[in-house]
Structure 1
Amino acid sequence: MTDGHLLIAWHGRTGTSEALAASAAAGAAANGSLLPAADVSPDDLLAAAGYLFVCPENLASMSGEMKEMFDRCYYPVLGKLNGRPFATIIAAGSDGEGAQRQIDRIAKGWRLKRVAEPWIVNTEAQSPEAILAAKTLEPSTLQTAREMGEALAEGIASGMF
């Protein structure tokens, strides 16, 4: 039995994913919960009515910590999340498609239902220094993340998804 909330699971190292996830959580307000990927358990996934997964693309893949969350939780919840809504935000220095594909394949296995178009936030960081540097996002990008969190949480609460 779910408690009707949106779980926002995130991982990041340079501030981008964390800021996007925190903004989405602010939009979801009381209907959302924000957890670092390292802290997400199968029970957290089972308790939530929907999901927003936020992570960077590292070396054309989702971040290792996000992958670890999926590895740890995949089989304990398999067959128990069918039809629940999900969305993604990928922070990337280029295209972000590799990380997006990985999460989509996992979501397909869990039989989740995508309810928002994939969102890839491209920071255009290409040099080692730019990739490793702390990132600051435009207020409009953070506002879009806030609106996404609000829309997902409202869609779950209203039974629209």
Structure 2
Amino acid sequence: MNPDAPLLIVWHSRTGAAEAMADAASKGADGEARIVRARDAQPDDVLKAKAYLFACPENLATMSGMMKEFFDRCYYPVLGRIEGRAYATAISAGSDGEGATRQIDRIVAGWRLKRVADPLIVNCDAQDAASILAPKTIAPEEVARCEELGAAMAEGVRMGIF
């Protein structure tokens, strides 16, 4: 991990899917990303970055509680200081992932961030308690999508597009 990398990947995962998505995006960014667990991410991490990827599971039709805690902890200390910076989302979901995407979009609208990629949603198709709680892996084609997102975001920062 490059502590001075311009792309900040903040992630939370309980079953491994969102973690795998964040790791793949970081790999795609080829050394241009700092990957930080949501529980460890601080306002200074947000301030140092030029772009953000928020990766988490959708739990009960919303983002995970630990990701919400990250936003709660960092929201006001960076408010008014990061306008116009780029962001994207990577959501692991049991169904559609739309609730988590909407919630993150609403929060970062207050930061005045600019979405630079369509939401990346990986449907793990977990619909019962056992499958929801089970460890997850991501299919190779989904890993590739995450790597491409990380590469695109890192390249956008390098080129000064965002």
Residue of structure 2 in register with 1:96 after alignment: 97
What is the CA-CA distance between 1:120 and the residue it aligns to?
1.3
Deviations 1:130-151 (A, max 9, x none): 0000111111110110111011
Counterpart CA distance in 1 for 2:138 and 2:51 is 26
Length-normalised TM-score, structure 1: 0.96
3-state SS of the aligned residue for 2:10? strand
* Distance 1:13-1:4 versus aligned 2 partners, 3 A rule: closer
1:76-155 mapped onto 2 (5 Å cutoff): 76-155=77-156
Residue in structure 1 matched with residue 13 of structure 2 by the alignment: 12
Unpaired runs of 5+ residues, structure 1, are: none
Structure 2 residues not aligned, in runs of 5+: none
Runs of 4+ in 1 over 3 A off after TM superposition: none
Aligned to 1:55: 56
Q: Relative to total residues, which structure has the larger helix share, 1 or 2?
A: 1
- How far 1:75 moved relative to its partner? 0.2
Deviation by residue 1:2-29 (Cα, 9 ceiling, x = unmatched): x661000000100100000000001112
Is the partner of 2:53 in helix, strand or coil? strand
Structure-2 residue corresponding to 1:45? 46
Count of aligned positions: 159
Query: How far did 1:94 drift?
Result: 0.8
| Paired residues of 2:5 and 2:34 also in contact (CA < 8 A) | no
Return the letter of the residue paired with 1:135.
K
Partners of 2:15 and 2:136 within 8 A in 1 = yes
User: How many Å separate the matches in 2 of 1:118 and 1:30?
Assistant: 23
Aligned partner of 1:22 in structure 2 is 23
